[in-house]
Amino acid sequence: MHLVMRSARSVVSPRLGCSIVTLATVLLLWYAVTGLTGMVSAARLPSPLDVWQALVQVTVEGYADGRLDQHIVQSVKLVLYGFLTATVSGVPLGLWMGQSRRAQAFLNPIFIMLRPIPPLAWIPLAIVWLGLGDAAKVMVIWFAAFVPSVINSFAGVRNLDPSLIEAAEMLGLRRSQFVREVMIPGALPMIFTGLRLSLQASWTTLVAGELIGAVRGLGHLLTQGSLDIFPAMIVVAMLTVALCGWLMTVLLGLIERRSMPWRPSR
């Protein structure tokens, strides 16, 4: 047990140490070129102190029709709705297309036609169909997250180890057993790769979607900061998006490790 804990510390500590050193270096350089020397004016890049004051303002007093926690809750809610909807619809579709040539022949032409369309191009139609409310934003996020989940689930099935398929055929597994015990476990690594890409696309699309017609959210906070020429508040919103996206990615990584206990931890 002590050996395991010691080896874990030896793996985690260098990574954590490098991360702390990198963040500290970036903060020092940021402070040096803004607050200390004034090489870059506050109108172009705010100093860390300016960003801290803006963070306190939006957290305590509020800004852009809400406090920071209210903006975060609104954005996280939209991301979760769009991401989960894309996962529930995209992963099964990708698995079906991967294991059924008929499904691939029928659905792939439609998918190939829709795939090159950028997610943001759906914003005008989403507004026409669903108005300026949350439903339109969820639709755009769903489309952005749907494509990676389908592609990687499809690739996961197509890249299954042929020896596993041969072994399943020799054992005479039924179709349902093959799907449950061979296909899905074998495709899980690629499925989770697609989910990570989908989550990233969800956050990117959310911020763009909230630039139009939003009354609360991190994208709305960015928009209001730009309209008020408030660079410190823009940086606060950007850093908050980065932190929320990172935390959700970490949570997805924990779910991935729980779902695939047979894989060695990295």
* Integer Cα distance of 51 and 58 in angstroms: 11
Q: So what's the pLDDT on residue 30?
A: 80
Q: So what's the pLDDT on residue 264?
A: 63
Q: Are 139 and 86 in contact (CB under 8 A)?
A: no
Instruction: Kindly report the pTM of this predicted structure.
Output: 0.84
Per-residue DSSP letter, 195? H
Residue-wise DSSP of 148-186:
HHHHHHHHHHHT--HHHHHHHHHHT--HHHHIIIIIHHH
Question: Per residue in 107-157, pLDDT tens?
Answer: 888 888 888 888 888 888 888 888 888 899 999 999 999 999 999 999 998
Q: So what's the pLDDT on residue 266?
A: 54
Interhelix angle 134-158/68-99, rounded to 10 degrees, is 40
pLDDT means over runs of 10, the chain (266 residues)? 46 69 84 78 83 94 92 94 95 90 85 84 87 88 92 89 72 74 86 94 87 82 90 94 94 90 65
- CB neighbour class for 102 (10 Å; exposed up to 12, middle 13-18, buried from 19): exposed
